[in-house]
Amino acid sequence: MGSALTPIIGASLLEAFGPEGFTIALGITSVALAVPTAGVAALSTRISRAAADNSSEPPAGPAQDDDVRRAAQPTA
């Protein structure tokens, strides 16, 4: 429903504010949405890293260089 109304809302705003005003309004709205999104992403990353540091198991992810070297060494 929302995406179906987007062209109608955009056209109404363009008619009401003009091209320059519409551009400014669009820029302000974009920043107003991007800043909190970036903040939530940073907080989520920080919490995930703290949880991984407190966990007894190593975090899932690519192998570290030392792990790769140990795996490549022959065992006696």
Task: Indicate whether this model's pTM tops 0.75.
Answer: no
CA-CA distance, 35 to 54, in Å (whole number)?
A: 29
Query: What is the model's pLDDT at position 21?
Result: 95
Query: What is the model's pLDDT at position 72?
Result: 59
What stretches of 1-76 show up as alpha helix (H) in DSSP? 2-54, 65-72
Query: What is the model's pLDDT at position 37?
Result: 95
What lies within 8 Å, CB to CB, of 1 at 6+ separation is none
Low-confidence ranges of the chain (pLDDT < 50): none
CA-CA distance, 28 to 10, in Å (whole number)?
A: 15
Residue type, 63: A
